[in-house]
Amino acid sequence: MEYRTKEEQVADYLRERIISGVYSRGSRLKQAEIAEQLHLSITPVREALKLLAAEGYVSGDSYRGSRVVPFDAAASGEILNLRLMLEAQLVRGAVEKVTSKDIAELRALADEFAQAFETGDRATARGVNYRFHRRLYDCANMPQTLHFVQILWARYPFDLINAVEGRGQEAVKEHDEILQALTTGDASAAMFAMRKHIESGWTVLKSV
């Protein structure tokens, strides 16, 4: 995996917590509290929040403070189509470059996700889901495409989708299908499984 600076690591930590719903929409993010949690100085936290502001996860500045942006329901349909296109390319790239070590780490994350849902720990499950997808897409070594996908994730209602009863069990099966295709090196099957996974979540949201 690529080297990441402290601010990039903090940004990834915050992305996970925003997408998982630990930091709810509209909530304020306090630099000092985050720095204390991570045992870091304020500087990498401040720079991480600037990165997230550029991607659309938070709004505000270092003087007024940062808040998690509200969910924009009107944009979700367009974002869905962009996700399907870009994430398919990342999956194809991952199939071409994935190693046995990568697959073992992804399997461990998929198992951790399943265990979290089985025990009713949805917040943990949502966080692990983020790490599963991020780890998978890292395998593709397509940083520009991943950057655009992370911008789309900022505007997508993962927290709402994963809160729906029964979604966790379906997601567990879908992760298994993705991993099976990765293991066999079947790019078409992997892309199809990912498309099914994304569309399944969207269908759940629309039915609520």
Residues 40, 100, single domain; the answer is: no
* Band of pLDDT at residue 1, cut at 50, 70 and 90: very low
Residues 116, 55, single domain; the answer is: no
Strand partners, 65: 61
Question: What is the number of domains present in the chain?
Answer: 2
Indicate the pTM of the whole model: 0.83
> What percentage of the chain carries pLDDT values higher than 90?
64
Residue 83 lies in a domain: yes
- Check which CATH number belongs to the domain holding 56 and give it: 1.10.10.10
Residues 6+ apart with CB under 8 A from 138: 1, 2, 146
What average pLDDT does the segment 118-140 reach? 92
Residue 114 belongs to domain spanning:
73-207
Residues 26, 82, single domain; the answer is: no
Residues 201, 128, single domain; the answer is: yes
DSSP 58: E
